Amino acid sequence: MPALFQAFRHGKLPEGGRILAVSRQDLNDDSYREWLQERSHEVEGAKRPSDDEFARFGALLHYLRMDLSQPTDYEQLKGWLDERDADVVVMYLATSPDLFTAVCTQLGNAGLNGPKVRVVLEKPLGRDLASAQEINRVVRSVFREEQAFRIDHYLGKPSVQNLMALRFGNALFEPLWRRECIANIQITLAEGIGVGTRGDFYSRTGALRDMIQNHALQLLTMVAMEPPSRNTADAIRDEKLKVLRSLKPFTAESVARDVVRGQYRGSGNGGGSGSGGGQKVPGFLEEANVPAGSRTETFVALRTEVESWRWAGVPFYLRTGKRLANRDAQIVVTFRPTPHNIFAGVNPPNKLVIKLQPEDGLELHLLAAKGSAQGEALAPVSLDLDFDKAFAENRVGAYERLLLDVIAGRLNLFVRSDEQEEAWRWVEPILEAWQADDAGPRPYAAGTWGPAAASALVARDGAAWDEEQ
Ligand code: BG6
């Protein structure tokens, strides 16, 4: 809803469009609008609607009470939609994923799956390959693939768009974008927050399913894919799929060697400094609704390779975690050192840093001569492209961008079912190896960069995580 409100504020919602909220609660248009207005105070400062703005936005909102298990309620929904006869109908399933198949089946039975209907599904789409395949089987029996919009909100982040632009709209980087010039690629999705009120969900999910299977792998495909033949959804998704299929498969031995799992400890329970932003914070096992003795991982670091001519032998390091030192999402491409150094000292290699958050932009780290004394070591300098400054007017948030794409029928930034299944196929051996391994996750103190084993993992290749360099 906040994203839809932003789209409204930016004048991007289609003329005459309506938003119909559906749930079990006994509300009507007016009481729903009141409820939402109350909630809109939770939206961060500049994005919060004024009373006047909310009054205009609220006029687009409607409410329908539905029990999603009742076929007759879908008839009612159909009646409501038929009356308006919209050109496009977007069904956003903000439900528990357990309901995806039942809801899609009912939509199909009610005839709500015609060509103008688009269905939006959000992760978690399954918890392993078999459950993801089952969801996809049912969704495909009701909707055509091009009607299904699987959201991965990381693909809507502006820097990911810029990664595409950088790679395929500029000639400069393509000749360098390969094993001959690149030493390693790191993808870090670090969060400072803990699991908060989501202890129940998170303890059943864990960082591998919550962040690696989807967000981190999607970013990896964007970095590693071959140039698509066109800027169209299937041309892009075919290339992404090829990357997922080229990922080196894990075995029990390589999981033990190349994957580190961790779980945060709070301050005051023997888990180290555990500062988590300077305050005392609970460890994962003390969070509300986390079962005693849970072995769920809140941190994962891993090393993989893309087995292709372009990337053979180049390590890709992925890392994510809760209660880490900073909220920091970035992709770091480290180039190989110069083949022959004529300057004093050891010079760090060039790096391209694609920053996703908290701020987004690109930094190219180079070396320059300060120009004062001869024989002096080179100094690090960086070209800093601050997109927020350059394009402030046109910047839109990830969800706003993605929702507008659904309305416009643009599938480029949505995940196709075969991509999603391939990602599960790759992740499964890790889940299985962990299941069979009694060691459990390694503890790390809240407010740090995770277990020391994560540093050792990259140090083996002579590399270091960006913050350690
Ligand atoms: C979600 C995960 O998909 O992404 C959350 O379920 C996580 O656990 C969130 O906090 C992170 O998204 P962002 O955009 O805040 O980095």
pTM of the model: 0.94
Total Cβ atoms within 10 A of residue 19: 17
Q: What is the pLDDT of residues 89-125, one digit of tens each?
A: 999 998 888 899 999 999 999 999 999 999 999 988 9
Atom of ligand 1 nearest to the CA of 202: 8
Centre of ligand 1 from the C-alpha of residue 152, in Å: 10
C-alpha neighbours within 13 Å on the C-beta side of residue 404: 20
Can you tell me the mean pLDDT for 246-253? 98
* Residue of 10, 41, 62, 215 marked catalytic: 215
pLDDT for 401 equals 95
More reliable by pLDDT, 413 or 276:
413
Centre of ligand 1 from the C-alpha of residue 371, in Å: 45
Can you tell me the mean pLDDT for 425-447? 97
Centre of ligand 1 from the C-alpha of residue 111, in Å: 34
Q: What is the pLDDT of residues 352-405, one digit of tens each?
A: 999 998 888 899 999 998 877 777 789 999 998 877 777 776 678 899 999 999
Select from 333, 303, 295 the least CA-distant residue to 319: 303
Centre of ligand 1 from the C-alpha of residue 57, in Å: 27
DSSP letter assigned to residue 348: P
Q: Whose CA is nearest to atom 8 of ligand 1?
A: 210
pLDDT for 269 equals 41
Length of the chain: 469
Q: Whose CA is nearest to atom 15 of ligand 1?
A: 191
Torsions phi, psi of 204, nearest 5?
Answer: -90, -10
Q: DSSP 3-state helix, strand, coil percentages of the chain (rounded to 5)?
A: 40, 20, 40
Pairing of strands 259-265, 299-304: antiparallel
Q: What is the pLDDT of residues 317-335, one digit of tens each?
A: 999 999 999 999 999 999 9
Atom of ligand 1 nearest to the CA of 357: 16
Centre of ligand 1 from the C-alpha of residue 157, in Å: 12
Which two structure tokens, joined as six digits, stand for 437?
A: 């391994």
pLDDT for 370 equals 82
Give CA–CA dist 347/345, Å, rounded: 6
Q: What is the pLDDT of residues 143-171, one digit of tens each?
A: 999 999 999 999 999 899 889 999 999 99
Residue 272 has pLDDT above 70, yes or no: no
> Which residues form ligand 1's pocket by a CB distance below 6 Å?
153, 191, 210, 329
Q: Whose CA is nearest to atom 6 of ligand 1?
A: 210
Share of the chain above pLDDT 90, in %: 85
Total Cβ atoms within 10 A of residue 388: 11
Pairing of strands 379-386, 89-92: unpaired
Confidence of residue 270 (pLDDT cuts 50, 70, 90): very low
Query: For the chain, what is the mean pLDDT?
Result: 93
Per the CB < 8 A criterion, the answer to whether 227 and 287 are in contact is: no
Q: Which range among 124-128, 191-195, 345-349, 359-363 has the greatest average pLDDT?
A: 191-195
Q: Is 340 a catalytic residue?
A: no
> Ligand 1 pocket: which of 125, 215, 401 to mutate (most atoms <8 Å of CB)?
215
Per the CB < 8 A criterion, the answer to whether 110 and 74 are in contact is: yes
Atom of ligand 1 nearest to the CA of 215: 3
